[in-house]
Structure 1
């Protein structure tokens, strides 16, 4: 069956006119300087208000604070906002100090003309056609106690488009085309419209200067990346989890230490390769998984603006008897697999990911640089680490440069890249099973979306160059992206021969010169404060070369947002 990929012109015209009318051609008399108000609900993990606070740090407006463990507590947010008296949005006098406060109500519409496209949008999955998402919330604080309720609901029309046949039947036919036996990452969420209601950034927390503890369903972010975190970010829905850590960096004189440990539960989509019961048994691997992570950040004395961190992340089988004492202590287990065997743990069912990272901010220069080195697989011993240091590796590099101008404007140039494409080590051993594992065959996902980098699994990469201007009436930006979604090659033969499964669909041969599936996207966006609401629009035009290792395909992504605040 041939599926029409182009969008009816009248639909694009209507949507584009709406975006222009609401944002790009707004009446200047309706615009206001700075948002009417700001509340805790504006500073969810990965939000544009959180990004704004980071820019203020770089520009020397807000105080320095480690950025590699998020989300922030209400106490941390208040401290960061307190410094914004001279920034473009001047949030300090507008920040709500109420014990109970209604957050902004947001309505977002996303249109994809040819195929799904979107990243770092939490629970939302934007398929082909129109996707409508709504979010609202309320939060309250009383002393060290804070409570938030911030649900998200969305509906994707999920119009049909060509997918890569994976040889499966039923709902599994919609799962990923490559690695379909070992990852829960649908190409399309079924044949009909797709909708979900998610708890969003909801939770309860006790927080002080010295310690924090709580329960949340919101997204967490590990590491210094702004768009491409290896371990955990906002690309997938949040999951229920308990956490405990330091309330603020603890001063040990030689350095300050900031840490957080998390224990949670992950779920799969209806299109997962895993079927059967929720628990892990000898016969079934279980539709649900436990997860845990520990992150430690050091701020060494004498190196102002520097944070160095390490994090470990585990997928753990949801066996009968779990969560056990072993699960609660999992983040502190020995480093190498050899030592685990020596202690009697020979099952090897859980999957570990780990990373080491740094971020260094120079406020006087308006500059920050940051990087991360991640690993998908646990090393057997120190010898393996030394001789095969590129085994299942990932690296991320980034910088942001802020320029303070007149009229309280800040311009930011950003560059960030992440890469886990095939290393030269693939000539010697199986490589590029990044975000994949066995016997837990959902991969590094929650409800069918990647928890870390949105680019893909196996061998993928992404890079971003952007310009953003923060001004008293809003934000304007332009972005150029390159995304390697998938990569075929001889390394797949090794996985097929020794890994126990075929990464490619049955009978599928990659045509010559079609081995790399890559997107080039150019986008512009604008967010503007007005008397009655904040309005935003974003337009991205892209070309997908060798989509699904076959033909090229263009797509137009248009997003329009309206955010209403309390008066």
Structure 2
């Protein structure tokens, strides 16, 4: 018995010796996350980290032990390690630290706007999120507890112009009955407490196994990601993932395998609802829970430094339809052929993408691309003959231009284009859009927001950013053109093809991020002009070219983070 106990102690000691800290930098963390990505362009951060599998882990891109203090100048006046609530007596003993306290606010003056904001909801008026927590480690076991508290005024606004014809309302519901994407989350204030960026993990070398409610981001995009972003709140999932690149003879690899539970919002598409010939247009969603399986894998070939090639795939089904390992892990099944275009594939809702990121530190630049397919039901031959069907893509490029080398100042120029609009009119008439599903009418959502690109089904976005940057400090301008659900536009107005009705948002934003001692500040002021808001066109007399039902919206985001 003594020999057995001694063996167990030795095994645990070996395990602890090779354990890795699993403290994470939450997806979308103000200033810090993009600081590390810019540092790669400057050649001052580890260029083997792809930034396509996030959140980032301590040690994956930082050489120190505190991911919240990236430069040595910050450490000397904050007291490195001052976040500790318990000082370990020796290495690998019990350790507990305070995580940063963050308050983030958002205000929309006229109607909802924005994405990549986690627990926040699309809402008019003021809303705010408070997050804080602790991180504890004992040997290979780590616990990160970082809940989030949301309070939103959720003020009243017209969710769909009542002057639309009834048939347009009917066509609206044809689309939005196949996705849980409410225009407004109820008719009063919206308050929620969620687990947020929390996890419990067991870690060994570069691998981690655990349960998490953290937001995930897959792919190289900055404004959008086709399969996984932080637009929706995080969901409970089991995860097996790398915590840093795993080096092999052919290059390094990063990846993640998840199985999780998705939730409904519980709200209809519009407030108030609408009827058509006396029939309620809203079809309530099923009450059964949804299971999501997903995988992402990135390879950095050793022969081409800075190049990352990746693949990700997700599949959701209802919990009651789970049956065996193939339904729990359907990600390795071949592309399936079906007998009819509208035939469900094992009642699954699937999408996948291929992506690339190429980092050029010598040019202080990067280029990236993601190409995805949504619920594609053909075979590989059909995919080769018509690759644009059910496709979406993201393309981007960023470059740092030296501005004041002596003071380490640069000008950041970035361009990103996202295209989700369907190319097949037959698909549009059938109501087949990115993130919608007839077999799973909640679509690809969690708590009423899209898991992937925040611009939503049928949306297109073009972004230009020009900023001055120095370390964590950043001041700049952002210009965007956002086309709302062009698939719905073509579906709703296919009998007239009225090109004047496209709902297009033109916006300009001034934003800034600034660090001062322990504090990180962020602010963004964005003016948005919505042309033909909600696809409505006011016809005045016999004048053909006339101003649509335009709207002006002011969005203000502001926040502060305190780092211990």
TM-score class normalised by the smaller sequence? 0.7 to 0.9
Task: Tell me what 1:548 maps to.
Answer: 534
Residue 377 of structure 1 pairs with residue 375 of structure 2: yes
- Matches of residues 106-505 of structure 1 in structure 2 within 5 Å? 106-164=102-160, 179-272=175-268, 285-319=286-320, 322=322, 324-334=324-334, 336-338=335-337, 348-404=346-402, 405-423=405-423, 426=426, 433-457=433-457, 459-471=458-470, 474-487=473-486, 492=491
- What secondary structure, in the 3-state scheme, does the structure 1 residue paired with 2:484 have? strand
Task: Tell me what 1:4 maps to.
Answer: none
Q: State the superposition RMSD in angstroms.
A: 3.4
How far did 1:391 drift?
1.2
The change in CA–CA distance for 1:536 and 1:258 in structure 2 (over 3 A counts) is closer
The change in CA–CA distance for 1:152 and 1:309 in structure 2 (over 3 A counts) is same
How far did 1:90 drift?
6.0
Deviations 1:469-493 (A, max 9, x none): 333573212111111112257852x
Matches of 1:76 and 1:209 in 2, distance apart?
12
- What secondary structure, in the 3-state scheme, does the structure 2 residue paired with 1:104 have? strand
Matches of 2:345 and 2:292 in 1, distance apart?
17
How far did 1:142 drift?
3.4
The change in CA–CA distance for 1:364 and 1:51 in structure 2 (over 3 A counts) is same
The change in CA–CA distance for 1:176 and 1:57 in structure 2 (over 3 A counts) is farther
How far did 1:106 drift?
1.6
Matches of 2:96 and 2:333 in 1, distance apart?
41
Does the CA contact (< 8 Å) of 1:517 and 1:546 recur in 2? Answer: yes
Does the CA contact (< 8 Å) of 1:460 and 1:486 recur in 2? Answer: yes
Alignment length (residue pairs): 494
Tell me whether 422-431 or 204-213 shows the greater mean CA deviation: 422-431
What TM-score comes out, normalization by structure 1 length?
0.79
How far did 1:445 drift?
0.7
Task: Tell me what 1:276 maps to.
Answer: none
Deviations 1:198-256 (A, max 9, x none): 11100012233342211100111111111110000100000000111344333331233
The change in CA–CA distance for 1:538 and 1:81 in structure 2 (over 3 A counts) is farther
Residue 74 of structure 1 pairs with residue 58 of structure 2: yes
How far did 1:368 drift?
0.6
Task: Tell me what 2:25 maps to.
Answer: 43
How far did 1:527 drift?
2.4
Does the CA contact (< 8 Å) of 1:392 and 1:431 recur in 2? Answer: no
Does the CA contact (< 8 Å) of 2:365 and 2:399 recur in 1? Answer: yes
Matches of 1:182 and 1:440 in 2, distance apart?
7
The change in CA–CA distance for 1:511 and 1:129 in structure 2 (over 3 A counts) is farther
Matches of 2:354 and 2:264 in 1, distance apart?
28
Does the CA contact (< 8 Å) of 2:237 and 2:260 recur in 1? Answer: yes
Tell me whether 53-62 or 121-130 shows the greater mean CA deviation: 121-130
Unaligned runs of 5+ in 1: 1-38, 168-172, 274-282, 493-502
Matches of 1:149 and 1:74 in 2, distance apart?
16
- What secondary structure, in the 3-state scheme, does the structure 1 residue paired with 2:375 have? coil
Matches of 2:152 and 2:205 in 1, distance apart?
42
Residue number among 553, 560, 563 corresponding to 2:558 in the alignment:
560
Does the CA contact (< 8 Å) of 1:53 and 1:80 recur in 2? Answer: no
Does the CA contact (< 8 Å) of 2:375 and 2:390 recur in 1? Answer: yes
Unaligned runs of 5+ in 2: 1-20, 85-94, 164-168, 270-283, 537-548
Does the CA contact (< 8 Å) of 1:236 and 1:450 recur in 2? Answer: yes
Matches of 2:467 and 2:425 in 1, distance apart?
38
Does the CA contact (< 8 Å) of 2:102 and 2:132 recur in 1? Answer: yes
Does the CA contact (< 8 Å) of 2:307 and 2:356 recur in 1? Answer: yes
What TM-score comes out, normalization by structure 2 length?
0.79
Larger radius of gyration: 2
Matches of 1:176 and 1:157 in 2, distance apart?
26
- What secondary structure, in the 3-state scheme, does the structure 2 residue paired with 1:364 have? helix
How far did 1:179 drift?
1.5
Tell me whether 352-361 or 108-117 shows the greater mean CA deviation: 108-117
Task: Tell me what 1:52 maps to.
Answer: 35
Task: Tell me what 2:45 maps to.
Answer: 62
Matches of 2:68 and 2:489 in 1, distance apart?
53
Matches of 2:234 and 2:358 in 1, distance apart?
28
Deviations 1:29-83 (A, max 9, x none): xxxxxxxxxx998821122311111110111111111211111233425448789
The change in CA–CA distance for 1:491 and 1:148 in structure 2 (over 3 A counts) is same
Does the CA contact (< 8 Å) of 1:84 and 1:92 recur in 2? Answer: no
How far did 1:91 drift?
6.5
Task: Tell me what 2:281 maps to.
Answer: none
Does the CA contact (< 8 Å) of 1:163 and 1:177 recur in 2? Answer: no
How far did 1:376 drift?
0.6
